[in-house]
């Protein structure tokens, strides 16, 4: 069996440390240098030759810096004769750029997938891509996990006798339905149209929410525009209480405080992105055990999908 070598980029050191602790392996050191011309250079400071190398880097703010760092780390591992280079990307931010929905726009999700492979990445492990078909942008194997098990585990501790799961849009309704099934709950979905990064319209809710305790489930909360629009519709339709859950808690533009002030009962996310702020209404669930288990299975050539099936 080839030795495992785990390196972490600078995007989310706490998650890397937690994953290494679960795997009971040391985190290998990385030296990052920035030159006077602003170019970066990475040196992996531990032997990679014939190792199964895992590089953990979340594509979170500053996304471009973290992306280049990941590309350079993959290049360095390949150049150091790694047996296999695995990119562990808990949040793949460019997944939101997945279609040509305006003339002459870039499709970053596909381009970044190609860049990773060009840099030497042989395999990707990621969580909750914005849309499942982004998986197909990669020409190397992708293990695509979700956090429904962790999120469902949290809500099982709540009184769910009157609860309903609501997806903000039809695109995420399949995942919301899978989540609802885990909890034995009904599901509803919003009819959402995104006008711009900061404007969405939800014109209707398909399903019964009146008098119910709603759990909103989305893949990510960025500015919170989607959730705020959904809160308005749910209140108009007489929802009794509203909790909010997502995998990627990005909380741009002070979204966490604004959401907490919007009279939601609680906000639940995972730690795929490092959180800059805390709030008494916020619970952060760790995906480190799931990622560590997946890394261990990938390394040992065991099934990953059997662990994380919807
Ligand atoms: C978009 O379609 C996604 O599923 C999320 O709803 C979206 O990324 C959330 O972004 P924001 O919080 O800025 O509305």
Residues 3-60 pLDDT 10s: 999 999 999 999 999 999 999 999 999 999 999 999 999 999 999 999 999 999 999 9
Q: Whose CA is nearest to atom 10 of ligand 1?
A: 222
**CA nearest ligand 1 atom 9, residue:** 221
- Of 128 and 277, the structure prediction assigns the larger pLDDT to 128
List pLDDT tens digits, range 154-197: 999 999 999 999 999 999 999 999 999 999 999 999 999 989 98
Q: By percentage, how much of the chain surpasses pLDDT 70?
A: 99
Q: How far apart are CA 33 and CA 16, in angstroms?
A: 20
**pLDDT of the residue at 277:** 84
User: What's the half-sphere exposure (Cβ side, CA atoms, 13 Å) at 295?
Assistant: 31
Is the Cβ atom of 98 under 6 angstroms away from ligand 1?
no
Q: Is 249 in the pocket of ligand 1 (CB under 6 A)?
A: no
pLDDT of residue 307: 73
Instruction: Report whether pLDDT(254) > 60.
Output: yes
Which residue of 218, 224, 232, 252 sits with most ligand 1 atoms within 8 Å of its CB, as the best mutation to test the pocket? 218
Radius of gyration of the chain (CA): 20
Ligand 1: which of 146, 190, 194, 226 to mutate, judged by most atoms within 8 Å of the beta carbon? Answer: 226
pLDDT of residue 309: 60
The residue among 278 and 242 whose pLDDT is bigger is 242
Q: Does the Cβ of 220 fall within 6 Å of ligand 1?
A: yes
> Catalytic residue at 99?
no
272 lines ligand 1 (CB under 6 A): no
Contact 240, 162 (CB under 8 A): yes
Which listed residue (99, 100, 174, 192) is catalytic?
A: 192
Percent of the chain residues topping a pLDDT of 90: 94
Q: 310 or 206: whose pLDDT is higher?
A: 206
CA of 269 to the centre of ligand 1 (A): 14
């Amino acid at each position: 069996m080839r030795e495992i070598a785990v390196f972490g980029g600078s995007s989310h050191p706490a998650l890397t440390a937690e994953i290494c602790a679960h795997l009971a392996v040391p985190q290998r050191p990385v030296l990052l240098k920035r030159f006077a011309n602003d170019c970066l250079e990475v040196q992996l400071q531990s032997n990679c030759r014939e190792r199964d190398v895992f590089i953990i880097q979340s594509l979170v703010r500053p996304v471009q810096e973290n992306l280049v760092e990941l590309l350079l780390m993959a290049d360095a591992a390949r150049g150091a004769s790694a047996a296999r280079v695995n990119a562990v990307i808990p949040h793949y931010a460019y997944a939101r750029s997945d279609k040509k929905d305006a003339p002459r726009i870039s499709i970053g999700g596909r381009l970044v997938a190609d860049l990773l492979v060009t840099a030497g990445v042989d395999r990707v492990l990621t969580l909750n891509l914005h849309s499942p078909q982004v998986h197909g942008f990669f020409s190397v194997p992708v293990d695509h996990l979700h956090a429904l098990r962790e999120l469902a585990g949290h809500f099982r501790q709540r009184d769910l006798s009157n609860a309903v799961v609501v997806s903000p849009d039809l695109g995420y309704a399949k995942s919301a339905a899978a989540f609802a099934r885990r909890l034995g709950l009904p599901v509803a979905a919003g009819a959402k149209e995104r006008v711009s990064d900061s404007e969405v319209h939800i014109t209707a809710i398909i399903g019964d929410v009146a008098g119910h305790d709603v759990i909103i489930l989305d893949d990510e909360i960025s500015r919170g525009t989607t959730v705020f629009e959904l809160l308005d519709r749910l209140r108009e339709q007489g929802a009794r209480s509203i909790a909010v859950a997502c995998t990627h808690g990005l909380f741009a533009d002070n979204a966490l405080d604004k959401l907490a002030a919007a009279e939601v009962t609680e906000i639940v996310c995972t730690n795929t992105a490092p959180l800059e702020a805390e709030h008494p209404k916020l619970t952060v669930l760790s995906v480190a055990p799931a990622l560590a288990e997946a890394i261990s299975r990938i390394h040992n050539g065991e099934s990953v999908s059997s662990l994380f099936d919807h």
